[in-house]
Amino acid sequence: MKQNYHSGTSRKNKEKIIRSIFFVIALASGLTLGLIVVFLFMEGLPIFSKVSVKDFIFGIYWYPTDDPADFGIFPLIIASLSVTLVSSVISIPLGISSALFLAEIASRRVREIVKPIVELLAALPSVVIGFFGMVVVAPFLQEIFDIPVGLNLFNASLMLAFMSVPTICSISEDAIFSVPKELREASLALGATQWETIWRVIIPASISGISTAVILGMSRAIGETMVVLMVAGGAAMVPRSIFDPVRPLPASIAAEMAEAPFRGDHYYALFATGIVLFLFTMAFNMVADYISNRYRQVGAATL
Amino acid sequence: MGLKNYTVTALICAIFFSAGLAMAGNIVIKGSTTVLPIAQKVAEAYMKQNPDVKISISGGGSGNGMKAIIDGSTDIATSSRFIQEKEIKLAVEKGGYPVPFAVAYDCIVPVVHPSNKIENLTLDQLKAIYKGEITNWKDVGGTDGKIVVISRDTSSGTYEVWEEKVLNKERVFPGALLQASSGAVIQAISKNKNAIGYDGIGYINETVKPLTINSIKGSKETALDGSFPVSRALYVFTNGWPKGDILNFINFIINPEKGQKYVEEAGFVPLY
């Protein structure tokens, strides 16, 4: 009896220790994020003693090394948003339809072969995708669309779409696959065709997972650096057509940071650009989080 | 416990001792980002031959290098321009005397796609192209086609020369494509028949076609005799005539058999 009681407390203690270890680990990643954010703001905010927030965000000239310098990141913001938008237009239909195909239409064997291949696409290093865009896609676009530059908004969007399709496909496939079997069977039993079942039942039931997938895919596109540095062209102007070269936020930071004098205005401005980028990705992730909680499918009976 | 104390003492001694050694042959170099690749290559080679000398190098720009040589926080300042009068005055006021050494020449050549039939552009035409005023190849005697202007990132030394010598410090128009490295410029131009760009002479290869400016070909000779308009000397400055390790290092840089080899390797024009 005493023995049992004793071992009970020691097991409880062990449990407590394990719990606190996990708590510390979870805290560590939160703390790291916190420190990085503090650092980002500390290094970025000093620029606003030189230019106002309004001139920084809405200024259309980015000449950080001139004297006097111009720190306007409006063309860079527009560039980031437009490549993200255009790449989503390409990647969302592709990602969701391949997810639907894999989860609903493909036979088990096909699924087992195709899904790892799609996921492998996510494993391609971004510098490889960038190089492909630069050497293969750019001359090809120049040729078929008869445009002056192949390194442009469209090329960058295409390459980014390559990178977000696997994210979108894989996460929405999981969501679609986890739609309860009862819903599918009930729909078919009521005489709905497979297409009607997918459109009216499966998609609404998994919409929260699909939306999360889409937003995570988009946030991958907006934060991606190497691809846009290599294929977007790098012209700091507001694009007037889909074939204009652009300079997204991450590309600008990556290209200039190495040469910016430490703690100079240019350095601060690049960190402030980082703050803007961070706010964008944070907004994307918060929206994803909100949607996945708001429209969560709970059990089979709620539809 | 005693052993532990002993180890700690030994460790502290070792740290002080090694720091003392490092102090003995420590050279600090600050300044131009353009000269940075030369300084790095030469310093690496020098440290390999003289393992007791430690050289620390940082960029920050020519102006920062000058500031550092004036206030004594560096042994050698690198600069992509000659010292300005007010900087000399400031140095003399502080009891210093900056001594210049030219270490290399920088020669920036305009390049186009090999299929482009243009051979020569004047400095004014180049300026107009980079300001976005001339936008079609036929306006400078080429075949009809929109000129795709490729430039370097505004922080690069190559851009700095181009802006100074070709644009007279006016701005490159925002529609120019900015490439992040010398290699990327060549890559982009070799893939685009309407492109024009510029690059240090050391980076130019057979995939692109160099143009002459005002009918002067960019080469080692025209850079050294000053006839090629887009070239400049690169300097290092010391405070007073250099002595000891610093003198040895500067002798190493300007030695045609030693440092100057690395100047060429870094894509610049050597002195001889």
Q: Please report residues of B whose CB lies closer than 8 A to that of A139.
A: 191-192
**Which residue has better confidence, B136 or B181?**
B136
Structure tokens at B152: 């370097």
For residue B200, give the H/E element and its range.
strand B195-200
Q: Which of B211, B206, B166 is nearest to B186 (CA)?
A: B206
**What pLDDT sits at residue B184?**
85
Q: Measure A72 CA to nearest chain B CA, in Å.
A: 12
Name the DSSP letter for residue B201.
G
Q: What is the pLDDT of residues B167-202, one digit of tens each?
A: 988 888 888 998 888 888 898 899 888 999 998 887
CATH 3.40.190.10 holds for B2-105+233-265: yes
CATH of B107-224, one of 3.40.50.720, 3.40.720.10, 1.10.3720.10, 3.40.190.10: 3.40.190.10
Q: Please report residues of B whose CB lies closer than 8 A to that of A142.
A: 191-192
Q: At what angle do helices B36-49 and B244-254 cross, to 10 degrees?
A: 110
Share of chain A above pLDDT 70, in %: 94
Residue A47 in this model has a pLDDT that exceeds 70: yes
Name the DSSP letter for residue A52.
-
**Which residue has better confidence, B100 or B9?**
B100
Please classify residue A281 by burial: count the beta carbons closer than 10 Å to its beta carbon, then call 0-12 exposed, 13-18 middle and 19+ buried: middle
Mean pLDDT of B156-171: 85
Among the partner-chain residues A230, A245, A255, the one whose CB lies closest to the CB of B153 is A255
What are the residue boundaries of the structural domains of chain B, listed by start?
2-105+233-265, 107-224
3-state secondary structure of A27: helix
To test the contact with chain B by mutation, choose from A63, A65, A147 the residue with the greatest count of B C-beta atoms within 10 A, namely A65
To test the contact with chain A by mutation, choose from B80, B148, B162 the residue with the greatest count of A C-beta atoms within 10 A, namely B148
Chain B residue with CA closest to A63: the answer is: B154
Q: What value does the mean pLDDT of chain A take? A: 88
Q: Measure A274 CA to nearest chain B CA, in Å.
A: 18
pLDDT-derived band of residue B6, with 50, 70 and 90 as boundaries? low
**What pLDDT sits at residue B136?**
92
Reported ipTM: the value is: 0.75
How far apart, in whole angstroms, are the C-alpha atoms of residue B241 and residue B98?
8
Q: Please report residues of A whose CB lies closer than 8 A to that of B153.
A: 234, 255-256, 259
How far apart, in whole angstroms, are the C-alpha atoms of residue A8 and residue B125?
88
Question: Which residues does A223 contact at the CB level (< 8 Å), separation at least 6?
Answer: A250, A277, A281
**What pLDDT sits at residue A299?**
58
How far apart, in whole angstroms, are the C-alpha atoms of residue A193 and residue A180?
18
Q: What is the pLDDT of residues B55-78, one digit of tens each?
A: 998 877 777 788 888 888 899 999
Q: Which of A84, A81, A88 is nearest to A213 (CA)?
A: A88
Q: What is the pLDDT of residues A92-144, one digit of tens each?
A: 999 999 999 998 888 889 989 988 888 888 888 999 999 999 989 999 998 89
Yes or no, beta carbons of B187 and A134 under 8 Å apart: yes
Q: What is the pLDDT of residues B230-268, one digit of tens each?
A: 888 889 999 999 988 999 999 999 988 888 988 888 878
Q: Is the pTM of this model over 0.90?
A: no
Q: Is A277 on the interface with B (CB under 8 A)?
A: no
pLDDT-derived band of residue A208, with 50, 70 and 90 as boundaries? confident
To test the contact with chain A by mutation, choose from B116, B131, B154 the residue with the greatest count of A C-beta atoms within 10 A, namely B154
Q: How far from the centroid of its chain's Cα atoms is residue A264's Cα?
A: 31
Q: Which long-range contacts (CB under 8 A, 24 or more apart) does B164-172 make?
A: B164/B232, B165/B108, B165/B229, B165/B230, B165/B231, B165/B232, B166/B123, B166/B126, B166/B127, B166/B130, B166/B198, B166/B229, B166/B230, B167/B127, B167/B130, B167/B131, B168/B127, B170/B127, B170/B131, B171/A63, B171/A66, B171/B131, B172/B130, B172/B131
Q: What is the pLDDT of residues A2-40, one digit of tens each?
A: 455 556 678 888 999 999 999 999 999 999 999 999 999
Mean pLDDT of B84-91: 85
Q: Please report residues of A whose CB lies closer than 8 A to that of B64.
A: 261
Residue A301 in this model has a pLDDT that exceeds 80: no
